[in-house]
Amino acid sequence: MSRISRLFTRKCPGFIGFTVAGDPDAGTALRVVRTMIDAGLDLLEIAVPYADPVADGPVIERAHTRALEAGTTPDDVFTLVRQVREYAPDLPVVLFTYYNIIHRRGPERFFVDAAAAGADGVLIVDLPIEESGEVAEVARRHGIDRIMLIAPTTSPERRRAILREASGFVYLISLEGVTGERDRLAPDIAGLVGAVREDTYLPLAVGFGISRPEHVRAVAAAGADGVIVGSALVRIVEEHLGDEAGLHEALRTVIGAMRCVLAPGREPDIPGRESVEG
């Protein structure tokens, strides 16, 4: 059973956190990831920095810029994945990327390197299902799950085509537009979860706009198997540039407040840490 599959055998929804590799620099990014893991992440999404992240709102876009200005390359991203794998061997890790990064490296080399580093899945934000045949075949060959996006505006026919290619889990976009924190979530998340659930047995995780404990509670109540938080965590990095102690304390506080909604009273699991420390 894969690390992603094992996560979704649990009774409570998983807490999925997002970060941009190399933001604001390699050393800080690694320490941020370790703090996020210790605070209780069930799955980690790592974005590969990209100059034109069209699916992302301003908070995450600025994180991409900081990472690129620090000189972060795809090789550095794979190094971060290896460091995560050493720190938490059983934690599922998904790479969040844009297709041009894969195209420039070559799909075969990209997925070889991703698998060797210890990545479990890859989410390619801007690759249409009609053009993903080569990537899908290479990903399958190297044991990497293709995490697919489904939006509220996705037609039932297109949704079923996407689901035929998906593996690991399905990323449901909770609203129209780009990533970013919102005051309110879309009113019919339960309807989206229910509609997609009719077409697949894969776990369903909801993201975009989730930034508060009440949002996490609403997504869990809608029947999602996972809750994805991105901009709210990336913003903490941005707000604490030059104040690393405050950065880590804020991450622990925010992740703890949202995570306890999913599993009240449960101490954070740190997947695989016993084998590292013991």
CA–CA separation, 246 vs 141, rounded Å? 43
Structure tokens, 31: 């320490």
For the segment 224-260, what is each residue's pLDDT rounded down to a tens digit?
A: 999 999 999 999 999 999 999 999 999 999 999 999 8
Residue 15: how many other CB atoms lie within 10 Å = 26
pLDDT in the model for residue 208: 85
pLDDT in the model for residue 227: 96
Burial 112-123 (b: 16+ CB within 10 A, else e): bbbbebbbbbbb
pLDDT in the model for residue 10: 86
Residue 45: how many other CB atoms lie within 10 Å = 24
pLDDT in the model for residue 276: 36
Domains of the chain: 3-268 (3.20.20.70)
pLDDT in the model for residue 174: 77
Structure tokens, 106: 């070559």
CA–CA separation, 96 vs 121, rounded Å? 9
pLDDT in the model for residue 175: 63
Spans in the chain with pLDDT lower than 70:
175-187, 264-278
pLDDT in the model for residue 272: 57
pLDDT in the model for residue 262: 87
pLDDT in the model for residue 18: 97
The residues that are catalytic are: 45, 56
pLDDT in the model for residue 117: 98
